[in-house]
Structure 1
Amino acid sequence: MQPPVLPGVPSVDRAVRLMRQAIRTFRLDLAGLTVYTEAANGVYSFTPVIAALAGAARVHAVTRDSSWAPAEQVRRDTTALAGYCGVGDRIRITLDRRPGEVGESDIVTNLGWVRPIDATMVGWMKPTAAVPLMFESWEFRERDVDVAACRAKGIPVLGTNERVPEIDMFKYSGPLALRLLADAGLELIGNRIVVIGGGVFGLNIMRCLARNGAQVLAACPETARNVKKWGARKIGNDLRGKAARRALAGSDALVVSHYPDPFPAVGRQGQIAAAELATLAPGIAVVQFFGPVDRADLAAAGLPVVPARDPGADHMGITMGALGPMQIIRLNAAGLRVGEVAARARLRGLGREDAERIALKGSPAMAL
């Protein structure tokens, strides 16, 4: 049987191998459980198939039309992949959220087309269900899940620890930044690049850029000593100081990674106005990795910004899928494992708090 053709997935056979590996790695066993998740496109098409390969009795996957792919294409691709993996009889794809399907599910994933898991949707769920966020707890957005409603009903809500060795997601921040810099036309080697923001994203970006030959300057809250360990030189906590402004002169690129700061790094209300940035560093490329920028102000100043499509204030400018399917598969398998352990604990009659404690010990879970 020939593998199906999936947009953005060069080798479906490799993806199937990665799914089976992830199931073994995280000891994912969904036998007897029903999963409610999304059906998406490209490298995000694997979650319902992972659940079925891990033994789920039923998988309900909801999808919608989007700018990425029409719902009918997603349905065809997911159905073809499921059939190729021999699990097509256990996956049902729908175009809307249905109370009956949500109500019979043991695991309800906090993924794009499933959201928002609001009070109405929580009302459909059974009290023994579990909601894995499918990302780290600090990334949680209140508009996505009504946690109070979940807790009132006894439903565990848990994040997924992306720093466990089996995932180690944040070390891929650097390669993602490289992709965006390439899109901006940067050579990297010998380039002078300023990174705004530290933490797990910014520091990993600094290290990757430095190891690939760039001169890296950092505007972040970390100490100068710590920044140096990651291959960069600190120029300030942000771009407001005189030293930081001097350091910007002649720079080739500005990588914005200051999320969850809600204010634009560059712009009229930001750390530096686009016009001043253009004066200090004519033609500097602004790379919106994670965090808001004032695109209108940048356009008025004639400065290029990548990606071309505005990701919004609380989304990354490039997703992990740009590097291939491996990390997405591992993360979603880990998130399903979090949901599995919590749901099985609830089905054994344990309360929400006990179920969350068990999941924290027996899976890559993070407390919310």
Structure 2
Amino acid sequence: MGRALTETLLDLSELTVLTEAATGAYAVTAVLAAMAGARQVYAFTKTTRHGTSAEAREQTLKLADSVGVANRIDILEQITPDILHQTDIITNSGHLRPLTAALIDELPREAVIALMFEAWEFRSEDLDMDACLRRGIPIVGVNERHPSVDVFSFLGPLCVKQLHDSGLSVYKNRIALLCDNDFIGSLRSGLASSGASVDVFEDVQTLYRAQWDAIIVALRPTAEPRIGSPEAAHLAACAPAGAIVLQFWGDMDRTVLSANGLGVWPTTPPGLGHMGILLSELGPEPVVRLQAGGLRAAEWVRRSGAVSSDGFAQIVTPASGSIANSR
């Protein structure tokens, strides 16, 4: 965490941050904000499948106490208008989602929303963009490929970890990678460096029949599942018996995949639009880098930093793929 603060130059002095108190590696977010000198950190928590609110409180405060910042973090189970009126940066974190119009309307006009991932990955169900546009509140994505963040470099190892969990060696496996987005380079290089033979397809219908050990789905989510009945039938026609369809990113109709005789991993489906494996499966470092970068991007925009194509921050706009970068 100290290295991440040094590398990103995160400085939240004189700013108030509203984020989450969470469990596991995600307990770092509120603590990073406090370590970066935030005037006050409010950390909202609730019970989820990842842990109870009591566990989130305990883990966040224990970590904060270990670095001497527990006195600057207030754990909340209710967010009042008074807290929102003080907020400079609010994070698009799991416990806070969705950020509703009613919540956004209570924020100061100078507040910013930290998306906590790249702008092109924006999910409309996470927060009310119309309310942000009406209030002039920017939604700030983070450039995960910035050298001080470099989270994209973890995507290949993360996919390898997911394949290992499914029972495949990766080494000497023949992999079909379905990918239509910026993850493609990191995934392909990560799989190849682990000894896999990788063929990339940007569209399901271009996949051809071969002795695939796994078909990896890394397709940008849309309103409908990226793998529905026609796609499942095509995959079944192209894959040998026993091949695994691995859900890295992109929603799939698991019923039709099973009906076509295909195995699916992970066995528990992720939430709509979410990845099939969390960065925390590789340990805390990628999570720390991503959260520090997300806060840094929001801080830069909150302090009216000038835009730059190679910077930390990306501004989400209504036009798909329309992104402005800032240093």
Aligned match of 1:82 in 64, 81, 88? 64
- 2:231 counterpart (270, 280, 284): 270
How many angstroms does 1:21 deviate by?
1.4
| Mapped partners of 1:187, 1:156: distance in 2 | 44
Kindly tell me: are residues 68 and 107 of structure 1, through their superposed partners in 2, closer, same or farther at Cα, counting changes over 3 Å?
same
Contact residue 262 and residue 292 of structure 1 kept, 8 A: no
Answer whether contact 1:129 1:155 (CA < 8 A) is retained: yes
Partner residue of 1:228?
none
Letter in 2 for 1:276: A
Residues 61 and 91, structure 1, Cα contact 8 Å, conserved in 2 = yes
Matching of residues 1-368 of structure 1 within 5 Å? 19-220=1-202, 238-241=203-206, 244-246=207-209, 248=210, 250-270=211-231, 272-273=233-234, 275-277=236-238, 280-344=239-303, 355=304, 358=306, 364-368=312-316
Larger deviation: 171-180 or 198-207? 198-207
- How far apart, in 1, do the equivalents of 2:76 and 2:310 lie? 32
Deviation of the 1:362 alpha carbon = 10
Structure 1 residue matching 2:182: 3-state secondary structure: helix
Shift of 1:179: 0.9
Number of residues of Structure 1 aligned to a counterpart in Structure 2? 316
Amino acid at match of 1:325: P
TM-score by length of 2: 0.89
Distance in 2 (CA, whole Å) between partners of 1:106 and 1:360 is 22
Residue deviations 1:168-204, cap 9 Å, x none?
Answer: 2222221111111111111222211111114332332
Q: Which runs of 5 or more residues in structure 2 are unaligned?
A: 317-327
| 117 and 264 in structure 1: CA distance in 2 versus 1, 3 angstrom threshold | closer
User: Any idea what the Cα deviations from partners look like across 1:231-258, whole Å, max 9, x if unmatched?
Assistant: xxxxxxx3425xx333x3x211111111
Residues 73/359 of structure 1: CA separation in 2 closer, same or farther (3 Å cut): farther
CA shift in 2, pair 1:284/1:262, >3 Å: farther
- Over 3 Å counting, the alpha-carbon distance change for 1:26 and 1:189 in structure 2 is closer
Is the 2:205–2:234 Cα contact (8 Å) retained in structure 1? no
Identify if the C-alpha distance between structure 1 residues 117 and 321 changes in structure 2 by more than 3 Å, giving closer, same or farther.
same
8 Å contact kept, 1:110–1:133: yes
Task: Report the CA distance shift for 1:44/1:275 in structure 2 as closer, same or farther (over 3 A).
Answer: same
RMSD: 2.1
- Structure 1 residues 151 and 75, CA, compared in 2 at 3 Å: closer, same or farther? same
After TM superposition, give the deviation of residue 341 of structure 1 in Å.
Answer: 2.7
- The aligned residue for residue 319 of structure 2 is none
Give the gaps of 5 or more residues in structure 1. Answer: 1-18, 221-237, 345-354
Give CA deviations for 1:41-87 in whole Å, capped at 9, x if unaligned. 11111011111111111100001101110111111111111112111
TM-score (norm 1): 0.80
Q: CA deviation at 1:132?
A: 1.8
Q: Following the alignment from structure 1 to structure 2, what is the Cα–Cα distance between the partners of residues 43 and 342?
A: 26
Runs of 4+ in 1 over 3 A off after TM superposition: 260-267, 271-277, 359-363
Moved more, 167-176 or 61-70: 167-176
Q: Which has the larger radius of gyration?
A: 1
Q: Secondary structure at the match of 1:288?
A: strand
CA distance in 1, matches of 2:235, 2:198: 21
Whole-angstrom distance in 1 between the partners of 2:310 and 2:108? 23
Cα pair 1:264 1:270 within 8 Å, conserved: no
Residues 271 and 301 (structure 1), Cα distance of their counterparts in 2 relative to 1, 3 Å cut: closer
How far, CA to CA, are the matches of 1:170 and 1:22 in structure 2?
A: 15
The 3 A distance-change label for structure 1 pair 153 and 98 is same
